């Protein structure tokens, strides 16, 4: 697998610094699991961040810090410290960062129809951005749309093509408010993507605009 479309430096740096919403963190982590180049770049940013921390002034801790941490570890209220989901066995389509969010492999995804054979499954993340899995039948086009914010689309299976190029497994499209596009799944295979948005899309067609509130896009 050769990844041709990568994350931006801004996204990698923000991921390294822990400044991204959960949904964006998820798609960045998933792409990094498939892309050697971005994984290496992230390692560089992590190293730089560590070096910067070493130059910062030390902040004194309160005398109760140790006991507070120990109390948190031994608290009976374990719910707040449990992960949302347990990571199951490996899946041929879904990389490891995604597995816990669907509570299993691809067969466990709870798809809902989005029209024209397209299906989606919204993943449980914080409300500041939305992550969804998309299933697009081979040769099917997503309605022409623009963006009110950022849209990240990572190919997990198959491929799609739009005004920005051709995207196969591992490729990620970083779409801003400047991009208007009409993604079309490659005719050779059904396409499965992870898509993340931090604002509603701007559809040109009347029917998609009517359906938009019900689909959460």
Write the CATH number for 28: 2.60.120.10
Total domains present in the chain: 1
pLDDT tens per residue across span 71-82: 666 664 444 444
What residue numbers bound the domain in which 83 lies?
1-217
- What's the maximum distance between 2 C-alpha atoms anywhere in the chain? 64
Instruction: State the pLDDT at residue 56.
Output: 56
State pTM to two decimals. Answer: 0.78
pLDDT tens per residue across span 14-47: 999 999 999 999 999 999 999 999 999 999 998 8
Provide the token pair at 130.
């939305």
**Is residue 216 scored above 80 in pLDDT?**
no
Contact 150, 175 (CB under 8 A): yes
pLDDT tens per residue across span 188-213: 999 999 999 988 766 766 656 666 56
Percent over 70 (pLDDT), the chain = 73
Write b or e for each residue in 197-216: b if 16 or more Cβ atoms lie within 10 A of its Cβ, otherwise e.
bbeebebeeeebeeebeebe
């Amino acid at each position: 697998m050769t990844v041709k479309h990568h994350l931006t430096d801004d996204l990698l740096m923000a991921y390294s610094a822990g400044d991204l919403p959960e949904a964006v963190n998820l798609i960045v982590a998933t792409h990094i699991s498939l892309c050697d180049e971005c994984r290496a770049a992230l390692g560089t940013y992590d190293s730089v961040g560590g070096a910067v921390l070493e130059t910062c002034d030390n902040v004194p801790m309160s005398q109760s810090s140790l006991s507070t941490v120990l109390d948190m570890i031994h608290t009976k209220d374990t719910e707040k410290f449990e992960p949302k989901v347990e990571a199951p066995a490996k899946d041929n389509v879904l990389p490891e960062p995604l597995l816990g969010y669907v509570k299993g492999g691809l067969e466990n995804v709870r798809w809902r129809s989005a029209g024209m054979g397209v299906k989606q499954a919204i993943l449980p993340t914080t409300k500041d951005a939305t992550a969804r899995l998309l299933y697009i039948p081979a040769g099917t086009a997503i309605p022409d749309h623009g963006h009110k914010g950022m849209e990240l689309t990572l190919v997990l299976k198959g491929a799609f093509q739009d005004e920005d190029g051709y995207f196969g497994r591992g490729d990620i499209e970083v779409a801003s408010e400047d991009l208007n596009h009409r993604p079309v799944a490659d005719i050779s295979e059904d396409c499965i993507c992870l898509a993340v948005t931090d604002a509603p899309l701007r559809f040109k067609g009347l029917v998609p605009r009517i359906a938009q509130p019900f689909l959460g896009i």
